[in-house]
Every structure is written in C-alpha cells, then in structure tokens.
C-alpha cells in the first residue's frame, strides 16, 4: 500500500535552455519539466571544519512516486526550497505493488 502522507515536500525537475538576449548572446532560462510531491531527507549536514574554513555541501535523499511519463536522470536539476540541486544518482525501487524513484542530490 502506498503511504501518500510521506510525500510532503514540493520539488520541480528543471532543465536549462539558452534563450537569445537580443544583444547577440544567450541567457540560460529554467524550463520546468515536472513539479511533484516528494519525501526529502538530508543525509549529510553542512558542517563547518576549522571554524568555518571548509563547508561541505548538503546532500539529500529524495523519493518520488514512479510514473511512466517521466524518468529522472542526471540531465535535470531539482528545484527544492528555492535552490537548485544537482542529481548524483537515481535508483528505482520496487516493492510488491509500489514503485518509487530514490534520488541522491547535492546543493549546487
């Protein structure tokens, strides 16, 4: 049985396309492919070492429901809490009649 209550955070899968800026150059513009609810858990903290000299990036584990119309890959970035995150790994988990994607992402 699917536990819909665990998907409590909104995330968007975004790609960037180049759009002409009118002056002969281009500007990267975000293009949202999918906005969905997900379960997001932080796996590694943003710890400061040696009094703030080195800050480790935040790493998250994201779970979304499986859907045939969308396959998350490393091509996408995830927009979560107004910040973009890079996808490091995607895994499809199957348990009886429930399938979901487990995605590891890191803050950009």
Would you give the distance in Å from CA 15 to the centre of its chain? 11
From residue 4, give the alpha-carbon distance in Å to each of 1, 82, 87. Answer: 9, 23, 23
For 13, the domain range is: 4-107
Q: Which H/E stretch holds residue 16?
A: strand 9-20
CA–CA distance, 56 with 47 (Å, rounded to integer): 6
Q: What confidence score (pLDDT) does residue 49 get?
A: 47
Give me the number of domains the chain comprises: 1
pLDDT band at 97 (very low <50, low <70, confident <90, very high): confident
pTM for the predicted model, two decimal places: 0.81
Instruction: Tell me: pLDDT of 33 over 90.
Output: yes
Q: Flag whether pLDDT at 28 surpasses 70.
A: yes
CATH code of the domain containing 91: 2.40.10.270
* CA–CA separation, 6 and 41 (whole Å): 11
């Amino acid at each position: 049985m699917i536990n819909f209550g665990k998907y409590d955070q909104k995330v968007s899968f975004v790609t960037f396309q180049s759009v002409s800026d009118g002056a002969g150059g281009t500007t990267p513009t975000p293009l949202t492919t999918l906005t969905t609810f997900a379960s997001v858990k932080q796996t590694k903290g943003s710890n400061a070492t040696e009094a703030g000299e080195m800050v480790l990036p935040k790493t998250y584990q994201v779970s979304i429901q499986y859907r045939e119309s969308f396959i998350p890959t490393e091509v996408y970035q995830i927009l979560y809490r107004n910040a973009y995150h890079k996808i490091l790994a995607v895994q499809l988990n199957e348990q009886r009649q429930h399938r979901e994607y487990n995605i590891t992402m890191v803050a950009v």
